[in-house]
Amino acid sequence: MRWGVLPALALAVSACTVVPQGHAPASAPVPAPSIPSRAVSAPASPATTVKPPATTTPVTPTARSAAVSAGPSFAELGVSPESARGALAAFRLSCPALIKRADTSGLTTPQDWAGACQVAPTWPDNNALGFFSAYFETVVVGDGAAFATGYYEPEIAASRTLQSGYYVPIYRRPPDLIEVDLGQFSESLKGKRIRGRVDGMNFVPYYDRSQIDSGMLSGKGLEIAWAADPIEYFFLQIQGSGRLRLPDGRIIRIGYDGQNGRDYVGIGAMLRDRGVLQPGQASMDGIISYLRAQPDGGRAIMNENKSYVFFRELTGGPVGALGVEVAPRATVAADPAFVPLGAPVVLSVDRPEASGIWVAQDTGGAIKGANRFDTFWGAGNDARVIAGGMSARGKAWLLLPIGTVGRLNGGSYGGTTPQP
């Protein structure tokens, strides 16, 4: 999960992530600025609106319970062929999960995706725009005002063994960490999950960051490796996946494999609120410098973020919450209550590099609510720079199978099978 998953690193620290698998509580809603000129607004004719179902029990906020309206045609959004090709490749990877996975947003069923997924493997890459035009309609959730940050795959120094200079344990998921689906106990809690552990006859919260750092998991054989720098490892946890560079130069890739269930606290926002850092100082590098200047190396501040991420070794690239490898400049983390995981999303924002078509293949602790996204940029210094400075605002459209809005309004799907 991006974590995965996972932030503008300045905001990432104060808001996000990841990651992959996970990418921290979401920032307050922000108004959309004027949309870049290449974006086209919805037609002037009245939009078809999907009304939330009548209910007498509390409703967990989802896209289905929010205002959902039809948008313009995909062709009007000005997506580039290059962006469409990357999204088509990512969508192909998503299809096996899409046609089986329950959609917690309430917008689609697995069968809805069958037509597009059947033809995606053989659809020509040089006509990727035609694929999205043929099989999808655009949908706006709420007012469509989007806020997007960025995450990347960091690399830190680590050792397979506990030795001088390498003393920070990198833990795999503990076997006593239990996730409970509360919807099994009450309809009013449908879609809500909690994590914890069993203590005697009680189910209690799992150990928080300070308890884990104090040794609550030591001696249990859960260590994948030991990191050299606790601050660098803290930020890798925020991203939700990364690379471990061993003393002999070998690289181990690790990905998100669960979180302790504690709420994420963005230390960047916290330090700003306390007046310790001014808004312009709350970049990732600024926060790291501040932590290193503390007498305890920043431990007390980092421990105020009680959230703790566990990892597993990866044989390929980082894997997102959908269970597929995330793709640089094509994968976006989203809130599955508002975006079906695996669905394409078009962003038109005030950062040109983030505008285009993405595929929701990941989630993040900070990525909550409608039209909140975290864009994935891969590994390396360029990815770190872009992700670390990403704070984009604009408009978002979901791409859903043609006929979705009509079906949600009581109609039926009556489409034909387009050809490349």
How wide is the angle at C-alpha 258 spanned by C-alphas 206 and 268, nearest 5°?
80
Which runs of E-coded beta strand occur in 167-300? 168-171, 178-181, 193-199, 202-205, 223-227, 241-245, 251-259
Output the six-digit token pair for 77: 């959004």
Question: What is the Cα 394 distance to its own chain's centre?
Answer: 18
Output the six-digit token pair for 364: 């993040």
Q: Cα–Cα distance between 20 and 363 in angstroms, integer? A: 7
Nearest to 203 by CA among 212, 213, 194, 192: 194
| Global pTM exceeds 0.85 | no
**Ramachandran angles phi, psi of 367, nearest 5°:** -95, 85
Nearest to 168 by CA among 244, 100, 94, 101: 244
The single-letter code of the amino acid at 387 is A
222 within 8 A of 174, measured Cβ to Cβ: yes
pLDDT in single tens digits along all 420 residues of the chain: 554 333 444 444 433 333 333 443 333 333 333 333 333 333 333 344 444 554 444 556 888 777 888 999 999 999 999 999 999 999 999 999 999 988 999 899 999 999 999 999 999 999 999 999 999 999 999 999 999 999 998 999 999 999 999 999 999 999 999 999 999 999 898 888 999 999 999 999 999 999 999 999 999 999 999 999 999 999 999 888 899 999 999 999 998 899 999 999 989 889 999 999 887 777 778 899 999 999 999 999 999 999 999 999 988 778 888 989 999 999 999 999 999 999 999 999 999 999 999 999 999 877 999 999 999 999 888 898 898 889 999 999 999 999 988 887 765 444 444 556
* Residue linked to tokens 């979705």: 404
Nearest to 6 by CA among 297, 255, 330, 172: 255
Query: May I ask the CATH architecture of the domain 29-41+59-151+326-358+365-408?
Result: Beta Barrel (2.40)
